[in-house]
Structure 1
C-alpha cells in the first residue's frame, strides 16, 4: 500500500515538473517577444501555423499546442512571471493584429466559453 502511494506521488510530481518545464519553454524569458510581434514576416509564419495554413516551426508549434489550454484555464499552470509575460504579449498582439486575434478566438474558442478568461489574462490576473 505504501508503495502505491509513493508511486502515485512520484507520477504526480513528474507530471507537475513536465508541465512546469513546458510553460517555462512557452514563456522563455530569452525569447525576444518584441522581435516576433514587431516582425510581420515572423508573425505571419506563426499565424500560418496557428491557422493550419502553413508549416509549423518548433516555437510556433509549441505555442499553438497551448493556446486552448491557456485560454480555458486562464493560464492555470502559469506562475506570476508567465502571467505578466502573457499579459504583455496578448495586449500587444491584439492591438497590432485585431483581425488575427478574432480568428484565433474563432478557432480555439468557437463556443465563446473563454472570453471572460481572456480579459483576466489581459489584466495579468490569476485564475
Structure 2
C-alpha cells in the first residue's frame, strides 16, 4: 500500500514538473513570428477549435489545455509574458479573423460569463469581443 501510494505521488509530481516545463516554454514563443505566418495562425486556431489533439503541435496542445482556465480566470495564473502573448494573439484573431474569434468564444465561454466579467479588460488589450 505504501509502495503504490509512493508511485502515485511520484507520478503526480512528475506530471506537474512536465507541465511546468511546458508552461515555461510558452514564455519563449515569439508571438510576432507566429502572427507573421498565416499558416501557423491557421494551425493554432484549428487546434484550439478542434475537439481532438491530432491537429495540434506540442506547444499548441499545452496552450489548448490552458485556454479554458485562461478564459475563466482572465489568465490569472499566467506570467506577464504569457498574458501579453495571449492578448496579442487574441487581438490579432479578433481583428483579422472575427468569425474564428466568435467560434473560440462559443467554445470556451459558451454562457458568456467570462465575457461579461472580463470583456472590458479584453477590449483594453485590443481584443474585439
TM range (shorter): 0.5 to 0.7
TM-score by length of 2: 0.67
Please name the residue that 1:123 is paired with: 124
Tell me how far 1:44 sits from its aligned partner: 1.4
Instruction: Give the aligned CA root-mean-square deviation in angstroms.
Output: 2.6
Alignment of 1:5-84 (within 5 A): 21=21, 23-26=23-26, 28=27, 30-52=28-50, 55-84=55-84
Query: Structure 1 residues 80 and 34, CA, compared in 2 at 3 Å: closer, same or farther?
Result: closer
**Alpha-carbon offset, residue 106 of structure 1:** 0.5
CA offset digits 1:26-76 (Å, max 9, x no partner): 3x1x32211212222111111221122752110111111111101101111
Q: Who is 2:113 aligned against?
A: 113
- What residue ranges of structure 2 are gaps of 5+ in the alignment? 1-12
Change (3 A) 1:83 1:55: closer
Higher relative contact order, chain-length normalized (CA < 8 Å, sep 6+): 1
User: What are structure 1's unaligned runs of at least 5 residues?
Assistant: 1-13
User: Which one is further off, 112-121 or 78-87?
Assistant: 78-87
Q: Structure 1 residues 65 and 74, CA, compared in 2 at 3 Å: closer, same or farther?
A: same
